[in-house]
Copies of this chain bind each other. A is one copy, B any other.
Amino acid sequence: MSKRLQTESDDTIEQVDEIAQRLFGVTERMRKNFQETCDSFDLTAAQARTLLALNDRAPMRNLSDVLQCDASNVTGIADRLEAKDLVRRETSASDRRVTLLAITPKGERVRRRLQESINASSPVNVKLSAAEQTTLGDLLAKLDT
């Protein structure tokens, strides 16, 4: 292998590594941003994610899939959201084993403000034009397949 080709290969590897580092860096910052927003709403990240995932109502089991955590964790999250009157537990009519988490009117108001706050402060929204956002979305979609 010639020296020139070797160099090109090294450049490629470095670019891949640099992009990976930046991906982690960007999402880490967005994660911290999310955490700060959660703090200002007096919610843990898990509680906020649950609220955002709750369009209307959903089985608790369903939520553990969305949150990518064990079902046992959802119990505590639901307890604390219920204590804040942001969600309430309902027994499913069709399967009495299933408990649905339903968002309350207060929870719906919080959810909406939370979503707005997150999107408004998102670097994706602040730093990129609409066209750049589309390009980024397409590239990420490729990575996601």
Residue numbers of A with Cβ under 8 A of B are 12-13, 15-20, 22-27, 29-31, 115, 118-119, 122-125, 127-128, 130, 132-137, 139-145
A19–B135 alpha-carbon span in the complex (Å): 10
Known contacts: A23-B27, A26-B23, A27-B24. The answer to whether A128 contacts B142 by CB under 8 A is yes
A142–B22 alpha-carbon span in the complex (Å): 10
Q: Which residues of B contact A145 (CB under 8 A)?
A: 127
Partner of A19, one of B12, B23, B31, B140: B140
CB-based nearest B residue for A25? B144
Find out whether the CB atom of B15 lies under 8 angstroms from the CB atom of A133. Answer: yes
A142–B122 alpha-carbon span in the complex (Å): 13
Partner of A142, one of B15, B17, B132: B132
Tell me how far the C-beta of A6 lies from the nearest C-beta in chain B, rounded to whole angstroms. Answer: 14
CB-based nearest B residue for A18? B137
- From A22, A27, A125, A132, residue with most partner B Cβ within 10 Å: A27
Q: Which residues of B contact A132 (CB under 8 A)?
A: 139, 142
